[in-house]
Chains A and B, each alone.
Chain A
Amino acid sequence: MKKFSSLLHNLILTPSRNTKIKLLQDYFKILDINRSYALAILSDQLSFQFIKASKLRELVYEKVDQHLFDYSYDYVGDLAETISLIWPTKKESKSQNLSTLIENIKIIRKSEINAKFSKILSELNNNERWTLIKICTGGLRIGVSERLVKTALADLYNKSINEIEEIWHGLEFPYENLFQWLKNETSKPKIDFKKLFHPMMLANPIDDEKDFKRLDANEFQAEYKWDGIRVQLMVSSKSVSLYSRTGDNISSAFPEIIETTKGDAVIDGELLVGRNFKPSSFNDLQQRLNRKKASKDLQKKFPVFIRAYDILFYKGKDLRKLFLYKRRKYLEKFQKENQTNQIDLSSIIKFKTWKELTKYKNNLHDDLNEGVMIKLKNSEYLPGRKRGYWYKWKKNPKLVDAILMYAQRGHGKRSSYYSDYTFGIWKENELVPIGKAYSGYTDKELLVLDKFIRNNTTNKFGPVREIKKEIVLEVAFDDVFPSNRHKSGVAMRFPRIHRIRWDKLIKDVISINDFKKEFKL
């Protein structure tokens, strides 16, 4: 555990990709079972369902005064680190194997979590404690992607990264077949590809000024960019399953899709809520998300369907090496065999010049369209975000000028900076908050705002600082809905700071009534 936790400690602190790879390789040279656990953790395939942030808080409150913990957490901005630092440490920490420790935690019964997990935390040193909490809560955020881990392994054993990518999703703990193959002791692990989730092909944002000069419009086709959630649907004679973009199996939440789809294929599409293939708002879709099951009632009220973009496999045939326009033929075939209310095709926008497409995009009024996708007709289905094949072109965001009202310290890499901003607009002579944003600004703007906030705090409410009303922020947002949960009566979707309007005075900011009129609320 000591070794693995210093690996994570060093990984988080080194900015250099090459050093990270070297650190990983040095670690993976060990030949015992611990490396399997390490691989599972680094690729985010190991977590403990029963130890959540709320449980950890409960445990730490048993050890430390709640207020003192809250002050500390506010300062540090990272739960795992706060707990690991504040936890009362024994003088002598007991050194444990990573594998033993994980196995010991796995067998803890629900009724004994508090006592047993507390005891384990007490026996570790600071850094080990931090590591364990990171493992438990999932999402290490140490600047190491799955891809980097694969690269490190590939380089260490002289394999190509593509070979590892191919079998990756079919590997299972403890990865013995992987390690043996890497060391050339056995042949490449055999994986049943049809059963697997296939990493999705993603798009890069287009730079319409530069890219349109460079790219030939005739080589591309466009589709709408729908505002739902991207899914992969796997259909075989035996079973149908639905996966999210990250490879999580979400079948049980969408039974209407699972029950009605037939055939033998792997489909890439967008999950949307709506009747007769007419999508309704993202707000409606949210009613169906983050649920393990969907009641009959919910299915009736918010029916879902898949708008299919692409096809990866058809009747056992791997189509990924075919070009997009050829894959489309197979997709149309599949759709013909599935004349249900649950699957339709994403339509293709025809255009001859970029100018024509620009006009098209500027006239998108349906809120369910986030913009357009521009895809190379001759593109294979390539996993990840490869450059030069698929582009996304988002609609211009909606904008409003608002006044900075409150600020709070950020988390993660922005902890210690006042980086979370609440902003508001006028309601008669008062200000009413309309949203909160913690992104969008440049590093330079963050420093300026942080300094202004420290020097112009008029009031403190716990971690929240009230700020002298002076700064006007241009806020960009994707959408705005009526809401009865907020005092202002509006809720914004994905608000972010577009820029600081030094040229504007707070009296220039509009009122909530005008705001509602402008956005037809």
Chain B
Amino acid sequence: MDFINHQLFIKDINVHIDPILPKKTAIITHGHADHARFGHDHVIATRQTIDIMKIRYGDKCAKKFTPLRYGQKYSIKNYDFTLYPAGHILGSAQVLIEKNNHRLVITGDYKVGKDETCKNFKLVKCDTLITEATFGLPIFQHPDPKDEIQKLIRSVKINKNNCHIVGAYALGKAQRVMNLLRQQKYNETIYIHGSLEKLCQYYSKEKINIGKFEKVSSKDKNFYEGKIIIAPPSALKDRWSRRFPNPIICMASGWMTVKQRAKQQGIELPLVISDHSDWNELIDTIKKSKAKNILITHGQEDALVYYCKKQNLVSKPLSIQGRSDEEIE
């Protein structure tokens, strides 16, 4: 484990995992902006993560790209790297690093639950596990996303004169919400904020069922009555959302578990739909990985470190610079 530092940097071979600043070689777990950045010399990631980076930052966002299939081994000197599905968003991966018979897994952001918009999480046994902890408190026990999406569908049926604006992260969550709506037989056109368009098109191209969607345009105000609109959370508070008729502000996020959070953000219909593991999934994964050494990052580390120590596992928090709690999804 000594070969990697708290910044997820392997000095020996000058390789970083999800670095914030431009680096020589960067292994990228997935396309979210707090993991995938512009300006590396060499990016190693799944094909879909590379595609997403190009959509967001342009074709020249790195000098060189090496796409890896899930399960395909890639070696640099005596280090072997393998990507496994993380079930977080399209293209997301965990990184297995093997050196001298020591297996280290960096989960990246992951969820265990089923999701039609990406390949589902695969458990990888290891000696050292670096796990995320976005929802690392026992209060987070995510409900069935189908029930949550039903709440939205029911509200649309009851409130015919309102439009529903659903706040969802542009990459991953937005498309997951669309896919969940389709699974529940909601077949109307879904309207999207302009910033979601390219990513939605990409998901469609990758054969993810998100159904028919259309960019919001300056149509007659009343046109959007009874419709579902998906927008990034930042647009909810923006003037952008005020053009719609009697909007009911919804938000799809694991944070919506806590009513007071929803209230603070002015969310009227919270939908607890998360792309991260909840508490039980986090501790279950730690157990099943058989790792004896657990490093915890990204979120509510304290409770999870405490839990691991109680299970006689070596555990400590990893503080990765540039990331503060509650800003990630």
Q: Is B153 an interface residue (CB 8 A)?
A: no
Task: Please name all residues of chain A whose beta carbon is closer than 8 Å to the beta carbon of B270 when the two chains form the complex.
Answer: 13
Task: Please name all residues of chain A whose beta carbon is closer than 8 Å to the beta carbon of B217 when the two chains form the complex.
Answer: none
Interface centre among A71, A77, A89, A412 (most CB of B within 10 A): A71
Q: Is B216 an interface residue (CB 8 A)?
A: no
Task: Please name all residues of chain A whose beta carbon is closer than 8 Å to the beta carbon of B79 when the two chains form the complex.
Answer: none
Contact of B268 (CB < 8 Å), options: A13, A82, A455: A13
Q: B residues 246-300 with Cβ under 8 Å of A? A: 257-264, 266-270, 300
Interface centre among B140, B263, B306 (most CB of A within 10 A): B263
Q: CA A455 – CA B257 in complex, angstroms?
A: 26
Instruction: Verify B258–A85 contact, CB threshold 8 A.
Output: yes
Interface centre among B266, B268, B302, B326 (most CB of A within 10 A): B302
Task: Please name all residues of chain A whose beta carbon is closer than 8 Å to the beta carbon of B264 when the two chains form the complex.
Answer: 413, 415-416
Instruction: Verify A14–B324 contact, CB threshold 8 A.
Output: no
Q: Is A130 an interface residue (CB 8 A)?
A: yes
Q: CA A69 – CA B137 in complex, angstroms?
A: 9
Q: Is B21 an interface residue (CB 8 A)?
A: no
Q: CA A62 – CA B258 in complex, angstroms?
A: 23
Q: Flag A14-54 by CB within 8 Å of B: 1 or 0 each.
A: 11000000000000000000000000000000000000000
Task: Please name all residues of chain B whose beta carbon is closer than 8 Å to the beta carbon of A76 when the two chains form the complex.
Answer: 139, 258, 260
Contact of A14 (CB < 8 Å), options: B141, B268, B310: B268
Task: Please name all residues of chain A whose beta carbon is closer than 8 Å to the beta carbon of B57 when the two chains form the complex.
Answer: none
With both beta carbons as reference points, the residue of chain B lying nearest to A414 in the complex is identified as: B264
Expressed in whole angstroms, the minimum distance between the Cβ of A317 and any Cβ of chain B is 47
Task: Please name all residues of chain B whose beta carbon is closer than 8 Å to the beta carbon of A75 when the two chains form the complex.
Answer: 137, 139, 300
> How would you classify the secondary structure of chain A's contact residues: helix, strand, loop or mixed?
helix
Expressed in whole angstroms, the minimum distance between the Cβ of A224 and any Cβ of chain B is 40
Contact of B260 (CB < 8 Å), options: A14, A413, A454: A413
Contact of B306 (CB < 8 Å), options: A13, A68, A455: A68
Instruction: Verify A13–B262 contact, CB threshold 8 A.
Output: yes
Instruction: Verify A68–B303 contact, CB threshold 8 A.
Output: yes
Q: Is B307 an interface residue (CB 8 A)?
A: yes
Contact of B259 (CB < 8 Å), options: A9, A72, A86, A454: A9
With A14-B268, A64-B138 known as contacts, the answer to whether A416 contacts B306 (CB < 8 A) is: no
Q: Is A78 an interface residue (CB 8 A)?
A: yes
In this complex, the interface size class of chain B, counting residues with CB under 8 Å from chain A, is 20 to 34
Expressed in whole angstroms, the minimum distance between the Cβ of B170 and any Cβ of chain A is 23
Q: Flag A228-259 by CB within 8 Å of B: 1 or 0 each.
A: 00000000000000000000000000000000
Q: CA A498 – CA B200 in complex, angstroms?
A: 48
Q: Is A12 an interface residue (CB 8 A)?
A: yes
Task: Please name all residues of chain B whose beta carbon is closer than 8 Å to the beta carbon of A14 when the two chains form the complex.
Answer: 268
Instruction: Verify A71–B260 contact, CB threshold 8 A.
Output: no
Q: A residues 81-140 with Cβ under 8 Å of B? A: 81-82, 85-86, 89, 130
With both beta carbons as reference points, the residue of chain A lying nearest to B266 in the complex is identified as: A15
Q: Is A517 an interface residue (CB 8 A)?
A: no
Instruction: Verify A77–B138 contact, CB threshold 8 A.
Output: no
With both beta carbons as reference points, the residue of chain A lying nearest to B255 in the complex is identified as: A416
Task: Please name all residues of chain A whose beta carbon is closer than 8 Å to the beta carbon of B303 when the two chains form the complex.
Answer: 67-68, 71-72
With A85-B141, A454-B324 known as contacts, the answer to whether A71 contacts B258 (CB < 8 A) is: no
Task: Please name all residues of chain B whose beta carbon is closer than 8 Å to the beta carbon of A86 when the two chains form the complex.
Answer: 138-139
Q: CA A68 – CA B311 in complex, angstroms?
A: 14
Q: Flag B317-329 by CB within 8 Å of A: 1 or 0 each.
A: 0000000101000
Task: Please name all residues of chain A whose beta carbon is closer than 8 Å to the beta carbon of B262 when the two chains form the complex.
Answer: 13
Task: Please name all residues of chain B whose beta carbon is closer than 8 Å to the beta carbon of A12 when the two chains form the complex.
Answer: 259, 263
Contact of A71 (CB < 8 Å), options: B267, B302, B326: B302
Task: Please name all residues of chain B whose beta carbon is closer than 8 Å to the beta carbon of A68 when the two chains form the complex.
Answer: 137-138, 303, 306-307
Task: Please name all residues of chain B whose beta carbon is closer than 8 Å to the beta carbon of A455 when the two chains form the complex.
Answer: 324
Q: CA A9 – CA B260 in complex, angstroms?
A: 11
With both beta carbons as reference points, the residue of chain B lying nearest to A454 in the complex is identified as: B324
Q: CA A396 – CA B306 in complex, angstroms?
A: 49
Contact of A13 (CB < 8 Å), options: B137, B138, B263, B324: B263
Q: CA A82 – CA B138 in complex, angstroms?
A: 10
Instruction: Verify A415–B260 contact, CB threshold 8 A.
Output: yes
Instruction: Verify A85–B257 contact, CB threshold 8 A.
Output: yes
Instruction: Verify B259–A13 contact, CB threshold 8 A.
Output: yes
Instruction: Verify B260–A78 contact, CB threshold 8 A.
Output: yes
Contact of A85 (CB < 8 Å), options: B139, B269, B310: B139
Q: CA A76 – CA B141 in complex, angstroms?
A: 14
Task: Please name all residues of chain B whose beta carbon is closer than 8 Å to the beta carbon of A415 when the two chains form the complex.
Answer: 260-261, 264
Task: Please name all residues of chain A whose beta carbon is closer than 8 Å to the beta carbon of B310 when the two chains form the complex.
Answer: 65
Expressed in whole angstroms, the minimum distance between the Cβ of B4 and any Cβ of chain A is 25
Expressed in whole angstroms, the minimum distance between the Cβ of A487 and any Cβ of chain B is 28
Expressed in whole angstroms, the minimum distance between the Cβ of A7 and any Cβ of chain B is 14
Q: B residues 20-65 with Cβ under 8 Å of A? A: none
Instruction: Verify B138–A72 contact, CB threshold 8 A.
Output: yes
Extra contacts, 14 of them, besides A71-B302, A85-B258 (Cβ < 8 A), are: A9-B259, A13-B263, A13-B268, A13-B269, A64-B138, A67-B306, A72-B138, A72-B303, A75-B137, A76-B139, A76-B260, A78-B259, A78-B260, A415-B264
Question: What are 23 A-B contacts defined by CB distance under 8 Å?
Answer: A13-B259, A13-B267, A13-B269, A15-B268, A64-B138, A67-B303, A67-B306, A68-B137, A68-B138, A68-B303, A68-B306, A69-B138, A71-B137, A72-B137, A72-B303, A75-B139, A78-B259, A78-B260, A81-B259, A85-B139, A89-B141, A413-B264, A416-B260
Interface, chain A (partner B; CB < 8 A): 9, 12-15, 64-65, 67-69, 71-72, 75-78, 81-82, 85-86, 89, 130, 412-413, 415-416, 454-455
Top 10 A-B pairs, shortest CB-CB distance: A85-B139, A71-B303, A72-B139, A72-B137, A415-B260, A86-B139, A13-B268, A68-B138, A86-B138, A67-B306
